[in-house]
């Protein structure tokens, strides 16, 4: 495809995407990851049903979903290949969750012994911070400023 076409409006043939169901997160240790995401309010989804392979579905009280893909291997030098190496491999680098209170996220992370890796900082319409999960996957939290919830 090459360079961006500059198109800012969807074409008439574009499918109507109705929402975002979940993000898949590759992890090494299932319980360690469940414990980390529990700090953010995620629990095992009782309605997930049987999953093929090593997929564990999590859900929070607002219906936000994550799928843990439990087939990762320990990364050399504890580095995330999408974020921590000089070569920039293609791939989705992180989810960004909208939160009611960034201060509450920071407090939950501190209580769980999880370091804030960046922030909090103000970026235009939002105040943000970042953490790393136990497998070095980046997780972003955005508290939207007044008037930016639509």
Give me the residue spans of the domains in the chain: 20-72, 93-150
Query: Which residue has 């996957």 as its token pair?
Result: 137
Q: Which of the four CATH numbers 3.30.720.120, 2.120.10.10, 3.90.850.10, 3.30.70.920 does domain 20-72 have?
A: 3.30.720.120
- Six token digits for residue 106: 């920071």
pLDDT at 77: 85
Mean pLDDT in order along the chain per 10 residues (150 residues): 61 81 92 95 87 85 94 86 85 92 95 95 96 94 78
Closest by alpha carbon to 142, among 95, 104, 129? 129
For the domain made up of 93-150, give the CATH fold.
2,3-Dihydroxybiphenyl 1,2-Dioxygenase; domain 1 (3.10.180)
pLDDT at 50: 65
Q: How far apart (Å, rounded) are the C-alpha atoms in residues 42 and 63?
A: 10
pLDDT at 52: 64
Closest by alpha carbon to 42, among 110, 116, 139, 121? 139
pLDDT at 18: 82
Q: How far apart (Å, rounded) are the C-alpha atoms in residues 129 and 46?
A: 30
pLDDT at 1: 46
pLDDT at 49: 72
CB 108 within 8 A of CB 40: yes
Q: How far apart (Å, rounded) are the C-alpha atoms in residues 100 and 136?
A: 24
């Amino acid at each position: 495809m090459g360079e961006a076409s500059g198109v800012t409006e969807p074409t008439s043939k574009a499918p109507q995407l109705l929402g975002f169901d979940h993000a898949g997160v590759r992890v090494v240790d299932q319980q360690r990851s469940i414990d980390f995401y529990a700090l953010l309010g995620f629990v095992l989804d009782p309605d997930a049903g049987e999953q093929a392979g090593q997929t564990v579905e999590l859900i929070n009280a607002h219906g936000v979903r994550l799928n843990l893909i439990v087939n990762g291997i320990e990364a050399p030098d504890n580095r995330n290949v999408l974020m921590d190496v000089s070569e920039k491999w293609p791939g989705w680098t992180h989810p960004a969750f909208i939160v009611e209170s960034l201060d509450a996220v920071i407090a939950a992370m501190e209580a769980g012994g999880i370091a804030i890796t960046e922030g909090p900082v103000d970026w235009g319409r939002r105040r943000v911070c970042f953490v790393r999960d136990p497998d070095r996957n980046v997780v972003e939290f955005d508290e939207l400023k007044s008037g930016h919830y639509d």
